[in-house]
Structure 1
Amino acid sequence: MPRWKELPDELDPQVREFAELLRRVVDRAGLSLPALADRTGYSRTSWERYLNGRLLAPKGAVVALAEVTGSPSVHLTTLWELAERAWSRAELRQDAATEAIGIARARTPAGESGPPGRGAGGREGGAAAADRAGGRAGPTPGVAGPAGVSPTLPPEEGGSPGRGGGGAHRLVLFLAGVVGVVVVVVGGFLLTGDGDPKEAVGAGREPSPSGSSPAVLPSGVLCAGAGCTGKDAEAMGCSGDLVVTARSARVGTAVVEVRYSRTCGAAWGRIVQAAPGDSVRVTVGAARQTGRITTAGDTIAYTPMIAVKDASEAKACAVLASGEEGCTA
């Protein structure tokens, strides 16, 4: 059974070439997806999407892959830039097509499929009926229409063409309907706050007490802000595409990092290129979380998360088994 799925047929040639290159790099390094996720800090699910052409890998993931496999990062990032431009062009084409379909639907007359004599599709039928009743209706004297043109009104049923009584009555009903529509539209505009129904739904609610906790979390993200403190970033969906390395420092042969997710409003510490016995800790004010490498062959360890408003609040430190220590700035 082949390791990789077939890439989508509709994939842009440059994006396809880049995805195939990533597969070759991973195969040469002999990395499984769990090992790849563990060493790069991007989740297994994310790497499945990148390597199967369903999502373009972010530049940070490409750089991390180059680091853990010893591949030339310049070559990988150059091809990534070409693929990124091709991916963006494809998204723009898709957005333009979707917008064109929406505009076409919006311009379709509401009464296009309606019966003759009603709405926009029945105007010609109504005029023909008036002709059959004994002639076209004439303008109503003394009543000005749009831009000073006298409106043409149909003759009153059972009466003579151009007769003023029935025509005036129908004009009054027409104007009353127009005024009603205007009142409804203006009222709705004012109630919803510039026409945004979301503002009307949220009216009267108190603002969220935590600015770092979004009201609606992206799919797969299970915590935000204080709710993330003490929890594993990978398990809570805060890693992968949602994380950046805010600070880093080299301690001996290891590298210690502050990892930060703005979406989750949390930071944690990570140590890479490490060995059993090495540990990492992250501090935010008086709060502290620690992690340690305990298994032979492991080279990376994480701390649980701590809620932060900004990555600058967090500091990560490493203590190696040799006794050497160091921290991020």
Structure 2
Amino acid sequence: MGRWRPLPQDVRPEVRRLVERLRLLKDRSGLSYTALAAKTPYSASSWQRYLSAVTLPPWEAVEALAKLSGTERRLLVRLSVQWESANEAWEEANRRRARTKPVPTAPAAPAPSGVAATSAGAAATGVSDEAGPNTAAVRGWRAPGGPGARSVAVRAARWSVALASLVLLACVPDASGRGIGRPAWPFPLPSEAAGPAADEVRPRCRGEACEGRDPVRAGCQADGRVVGRYDIRHHRIEVYRSIRCAAVWGAVTPANDVKGISLSAPGAGQLWEDSQDGRTAMAPAPENLGSNVQVCAVIADRHSCVDAGKRAWTD
């Protein structure tokens, strides 16, 4: 293996640690960029950018390289935490660059020919009926004749401004909300509690890589869907599934008076959590849900459960 080229000095420490770790994994795998492209959904040029800190690799690419290098499952969890730190540092650096980037000033559009251009120029430059005889040009248009011709142009400008004002007023709804196709005043505001759309949240794990991770922090709750529900004693026990993360988890609302929550799934055993967050960690979603996935909670010293097949019971 040849020596790696040093990373740029301005690379954030979190990103540097991740890229250096990925370089070690590539050396361990013995694969070239071309071989990585053949075994993963990412091109050779993409791998070059990832391992040069030009572009932050997605978690799926990190996971694929880790598996090709024979990384153990417990070390994969640590690698996911390292990727999350690098991802946050990368996004923060992008936000800082966006805040400090100067906004380019758009060049002024050329004024159209005709009376409309004359009207806009007259309104912007403050031409009046009392303009002197030496005032001859308005935005590149020269009024022919003497003061009488200029007076006609100014009046045309005033009529154009008045007409534009009437058009704008017609677009504003009145206080009663009457009018065809116009909403009632005041306009409805978006809810402050509304979060980002599911498509805007990028999941940070999938399948086995999600085991033991929090669904909210991993971005899996964005497309989480309830596949099992049980209402008991003013509490609701639910089984969630994320298709994009290929994972399942459990939740109880409200979380007060709940002594513990458990999630059972094939291959993951039983994950037991306290009721602090009101939800369990995730487990990989089995091919068939149904009774294979169960969420249980201890509420008021009673053990209640529901599975992904919507069967519920209390012991």
TM-score (norm 1): 0.36
User: Going by fraction, where is helix more abundant, 1 or 2?
Assistant: 1
